[in-house]
Amino acid sequence: MRALDGIKVLDLSRTLAGPYSSMLLGDMGADIIKVEQPGTGDESRRFTPPSWNGESCYYLSSNRNKRSITIDLKTDEGREIIYKLAKESDVLIENFRTGALDKLGLGYEQIKEINPRLIYCSISGFGRTGPEKNRAGYDLLLQGYGGLMSITGEQGRTPVKAGMSIVDLTTGMFAAYGILTALIARDKTERGQFIDVSLLDGQISLLNHMATGYFATDNPAGRMGSAHPTLVPYQAFSSKDKDVILAVANNGLWEKCCHAMGWGDLLEDSRFLTNEDRVSNRSILVPMISERLSMLESKEIFERLDDVGVPCGPIHTIDQVVNHPHVKAREMILEVEHPIVNNLKMPGFPVKLSETPASLKKYPPLLGEHTDEILVELEFSAEQIEELKSKRVIGEFEGNTQCLS
């Protein structure tokens, strides 16, 4: 049994934030029906390079445990299919521009008339209210607009983004969190509700202590590379052979660190007694530590600090981390059987439930792979399905040949 068995999700979203959200729900057992445009599908199917046997890695990474149906939402017949699906669904997820689905008759107020118990999750760049509600939003744009790029990178250098799509992915997590909360609320109220999730709101939430620190001091944080504004030493350093992380987060760890590394002079130095002292004298202490660590092999540093429980470690590349024995022991790399991609691998389930664990039931679907199956479940006859195909309301499944013109 999985926790969300029996929950049906109608997923009209595409690209990353929405699909990632629905994938998280699918991993926990929800039946995800992914609605795509006939012939083209989710645009992330064309986000290459890289690709794997012609399949976009971008698409593959966020669409497992789903079924794909192709429907032209601009047709009356297509919208009727959506209405039938919505009537039987618990959740609808969409990330269209503000007002776009309302014009098609698929907005929350219209869908609520069909199914008052439906939870309608709307994901956008800037939210469904406010003066910027009509602006398009992408991860990079919101990393800049939301303040993340102002605190990422090194002082005096060109702004840089986070290495992965952190705004999209965390927005997907927030959406899943909102959906699960609304499902619990529905058990109490018997009513669904509208969920407004935006990339901007999620990014503002992630500012967390950085924003609170600004309110307290009227001094916005800036770029500090790998260093921490509140903790020292807490950053990357260069050893004799490779870069390493040293994370001394409190005074007790500082004492252990100094004893293990033979830095008695630093431990007794009045400039570095407390973390507040070390932050105030960062420009003096960090170069001293850098010089000392640069003369040692990383292995020796790790052995000394690990023995006394001081957090430290390497800076892994992606190939190193996904092949690490501990990562494999945590079952964080899934091997997925796929009709096109041999030996498909992707990150696994980050949440381990003891009684209702996540599981892999379906590979990322081919475009329109389940169109007929889903329509049969809605009691469409074979003749009706063929007629819808002839009118191009739904797409013809091409088997292992994806039509992405």
List the CATH code of the domain at 8-206+334-390: 3.40.50.10540
* β-bridge pairing 66-70 and 55-56: unpaired
Q: Cα–Cα–Cα angle for 107, 191, 74, nearest 5°? A: 20
Predicted confidence at residue 95, as pLDDT, reads: 97
* CATH 3.30.1540.10 intervals, the chain: 243-314
- Where helices occur in 90-240 by DSSP H, the ranges are 100-103, 108-114, 139-145, 166-189, 199-217
User: Please, how many CA atoms are within 13 Å of residue 251, restricted to the half-sphere of its CB?
Assistant: 7
% of the chain at pLDDT higher than 90: 98
Predicted confidence at residue 398, as pLDDT, reads: 80
- Report domain 243-314's class: alpha beta
Helices 251-261 and 298-307: crossing angle, nearest 10°? Answer: 130
Based on the residue annotation, tell me whether 168 is a catalytic residue of this protein: yes
Distance CA 130, CA 174 (A): 20
User: Please, how many CA atoms are within 13 Å of residue 123, restricted to the half-sphere of its CB?
Assistant: 33
Over 50: is that where the pLDDT of 168 sits?
yes
Mean of pLDDT values over 94-114: 97
Closest CA to 318 of 7, 33, 50, 8: 50
Inter-CA distances, 93 with 23, 38, 62, 101, 281, Å: 11, 19, 14, 12, 50
251: its two tokens: 């005074």
Closest CA to 27 of 56, 57, 69, 61: 61
Residues 44-77 have pLDDT tens digits of 999 999 999 999 999 999 999 999 999 999 999 9
The mean pLDDT of the chain is 97
Mean of pLDDT values over 319-331: 98
Q: How confident is the model at residue 405 (pLDDT cuts 50, 70, 90)?
A: very low
Catalytic residue among 31, 139, 168, 201: 168
* CATH 3.40.50.10540 intervals, the chain: 8-206+334-390
Residues 261-297 have pLDDT tens digits of 999 999 999 999 999 999 999 999 999 999 999 999 9
Predicted confidence at residue 400, as pLDDT, reads: 63
Residues 217-260 have pLDDT tens digits of 999 999 999 999 999 999 999 999 999 999 999 999 999 999 99
List CB contacts of 317: < 8 A, sequence separation 6 or more: none
Counting every residue written for the chain, the total comes to 405
* β-bridge pairing 194-198 and 119-124: parallel
Predicted confidence at residue 403, as pLDDT, reads: 40
Residues 17-35 have pLDDT tens digits of 999 999 999 999 999 999 9
Predicted confidence at residue 399, as pLDDT, reads: 75
Distance CA 18, CA 93 (A): 7
374: its two tokens: 């889903």
DSSP element (H, E) containing 382? helix 382-390
Residues 193-220 have pLDDT tens digits of 999 999 999 999 999 999 999 999 999 9
